[in-house]
Chain A
Amino acid sequence: MTPPVPIRRRVITLFGAGSMALTLAACGGGSLGGEEGGAEGGGDGGGTVRVGLVIPQAGVYTPLGEDMQQGWDLWLDQNDGMMGDFDVETVIADEGEGPDTGVPAVQRLLTEDSVDALVGIVNSATALGVAEQVTEAEVPLIVANAGAEAITKDAASPYVWRSSFTNAQIAAAMGTHLAEEGIGPVYVMAPDYAAGQEVVAGFTEAYEAGGGTIAGQALTPFGTTQDFQPFLSGVQSSGAAATFVFYAGGEAVSYVQQYDEFGLKDSIPLYGSGFLTEGSVLDAQGESAVGVRTTLHYSTEIDNEANAEFVEAYQAAYDELPTTYAVQAYDAANVLGRALAEAGDVSGSAITEALDGLGEIDDSPRGPWSFTNQTPEQSIYLREVADEGGTLLNTVVEDLGVQPQP
């Protein structure tokens, strides 16, 4: 009976001390820190802007976090570490996998580090979980990945902006395109969680609106599906003419390889949301991925001057091809930089006002885009995986045109 008592006491002590520290920090951040930052910024137009970069440094999303940090760092390097007249001080926080780690990380940045702006966030649940906090603290947040529609729609806040995409925006572009092609009945698959459901809904709505029919759909258990064979036999017996899927990470690798191994690739062409073949998963998929067509708002192969320069600079700096995650962080830096140059002030209201007035962002690697309802209205590209001299690339087949948030 002896061990439990000291342990419990220790936990209570820890908890007590912890919450006290938090309270103190909250006071410091709210009153002193905030005013100090504002005074610095407003005074002579120079000074420092402190930006919290919230990216996953542990867990399954870590590769995305690395790409985002590289995109962010590259923009700062190219701009001498300055946004407008402000020196940028980046404070990095680990988002982890979900809101249980991401929300406290943002909380710490707001209170202990008293940041002037926040950039990052991969997970939609985390983004939705911190919306209230950043609004209360009046600190602008530029979401650089999370694609849930609600972030800039149902749960919209004047302080939450997005430089990435919405799940349905990408899927709907493919739905419209396939309906125009008249490809026939399509089988739809995605993992059974919020993003998967949004993709399925977005695609189905656009495809049916264009006159297409759905052959069937399957939502697979998220994170616990290693073997897709049982679901693939459902695709085969449905009589589908094509398959449209949304998978990312390890599931994307398994899916694309098994789609090939079980002989579906040759008879029922595979289409997907761009994350199916984006970044490091493409190398792991290997030859199985060649010929897979996806839609996304970026590809290294987009033919414009800004992208050519970006890809070259990124390769020179990191010796690898950039991903859409890197571009989203790069563009987040770009719009924050433009807003700070415009505002000349680091207060939340000044930054958001400036973001609102930015108009078209004309020097992005993804091509021109602009904020509509605080999320990008941008071109979506139809891409096809090709093997070019041993390197797998997402070649651009067609620009499907500008797509707003559905």
Chain B
Amino acid sequence: MLGWFDANLVSILNGFAIGSLLFILAVGLSIVFGMMDVLNLAHGAFFLIGSYLAVTFVAGESWGGFLTALGVAALIGLLAGGALSGLTEPLARRPILDQALLTLGISLIVAEVLSIIYGNDVFSVPPPPGLAESIDVAGRAYPAYRLMLIAVGLVLALVVWLVVEKTSIGALVRASVADREMVSAMGVDNRKVKFAVLGVGSLLATVAGVLAAPVYGARPGLDETILLLALVVIVIGGRGSVRGALVGALVIGQVESLGRALVPDLASFILFGTLALVLIVRPRGLFAGKVAHS
């Protein structure tokens, strides 16, 4: 048992790193979908904006460039989410599929614009100084940057959970999910709530793009791959739940890392096999949050 653990320690650790990254990516999508009933298929494209911003600003290895990229990505994410909130407003009373189609269209446009600006080449982004080296873990090399991702993911999970569950802003968001009419009767414009939630959700996508750039790089098509993973995380964790997004992301992280290491021959099936299993056992996900009435 100890021998097995020793041999697979790096894969388990890597599962946590990938899981953290997936959490940062998926939690924004989950909040927007679960709380505001908007399935934002442009989430992957927003992620890719972040990755390309990292390409632009992280020239050479520097913390300055990396933090600039994070700041700019946060600002652009906020604005993009706000714009998206305005665009989906006229469709608010239409079926969820209509909004999804709108966001799908936006994602195609964003991806095409990125391809016009940056071309179709593959870019890689160096990690910030001090994190570019590999650290010795149980006799095997492991990239330091991925260890930092685990820490960032856990801190962010705590912050998002505290904001949603323990602050008055979080209370307002949860209230407008539970009963929109009542909240607006009390003098709160719930379009503003939607604006803020979409803004923050999209901000998390672009920030995740910057954070993922030293691992995944930036290239056309990455947006779709990433969106698919985020959707799987949400289905497994249950939409609208911070805890669900965290557990879903960690499960998928381990499936993609430890699972693939143990049964490489089934690498293509194992992700969707897990998805199917969860859907059979818990069709609404492991931790289904409160879902908006429509």
Q: Are B8 and A233 in contact (CB under 8 A)?
A: yes
Chain B CB within 8 A of A104 CB? no
Q: Is the CB of B14 within 8 A of A231?
A: no
The 3 closest A-B pairs by CB, nearest first: A263-B141, A230-B260, A230-B261
Q: Could you tell me if B121 and A261 are in contact, using CB atoms closer than 8 angstroms?
A: no
Given contacts A220-B267, A230-B257, contact A284 B225 (CB under 8 A): no
Question: A325–B219 Cα gap in the complex (Å)?
Answer: 20
Q: Say yes or no: is A226 at the interface (Cβ < 8 Å to chain B).
A: yes
Instruction: Please tell me if the beta carbons of A254 and B216 are within 8 angstroms of each other in the complex.
Output: yes
Whether A284 contacts B123 in the complex (CB less than 8 A), given A227-B18, A230-B258, A233-B11, comes out as yes
A-B contact count (CB 8 A): 95
Whole-angstrom distance between the Cβ of B224 and the nearest chain A Cβ: 10
Are B141 and A233 touching (Cβ within 8 A)?
no
Pick out which of these stretches binds chain B: A58-66, A348-356, A392-400.
A58-66
Interface size for B (C-beta < 8 A) is 35
The residues of B that contact A261 with a CB separation of less than 8 Å are: 134, 141, 143
Residues of B within 8 Å of A227, CB to CB, are 14, 18, 215, 256-257
A: contact size bracket: 20 to 34
Contact B14 A230 (CB under 8 A): yes
B93 CB to nearest A CB, Å: 15
Q: Which chain A residues (271-288) contact chain B, with CB distance < 8 Å?
A: 280-281, 284-286
Asked if B140 is an interface residue, CB under 8 A from chain A, the answer is yes
Given contacts A224-B225, A231-B261, A263-B140, contact A253 B122 (CB under 8 A): yes
Residues of B within 8 A of A249 (CB): 122, 219
Q: Are B219 and A262 in contact (CB under 8 A)?
A: no
Closest chain B CB from A306 CB (angstroms): 28
**Any B CB within 8 A of the CB of A157:** no
Q: Pick from B119, B216, B264, B268 the residue with the most CB of A within 10 Å.
A: B264
Indicate with 1 or 0, residue by residue over B212-247, a CB within 8 angstroms of chain A CB atoms: 000111011110010000000000000000000000
Q: How far is the CA of A261 from the CA of B133 in the complex (A)?
A: 8
Asked if A284 and B142 make an inter-chain contact with CB atoms under 8 angstroms apart, the answer reads no
Q: What is the bound-complex CA distance between A192 and B259, given in angstroms?
A: 17
B124 touches A253 (CB 8 A): yes
Contact among A63, A226, A254 for B120, CB-based, below 8 A: A63
Specify which chain A residues have a CB less than 8 angstroms from the CB of B225 in the assembled complex.
Answer: 223-224, 226
Which residue of A62, A225, A262, A285 is within 8 Å of B143 (Cβ)? A262
A107 interface contact, C-beta 8 A: no
Interface contact A60-B220, CB-CB below 8 Å: yes
Contact A229 B11 (CB under 8 A): yes
Separation in Å of the B203 CB from the closest CB of chain A?
Answer: 23
Q: Does A218 contact B (CB under 8 A)?
A: yes
Chain B residues contacting A221 (CB-CB under 8 Å) are: 267-268
CB distance from A200 to the nearest CB of B (A): 14
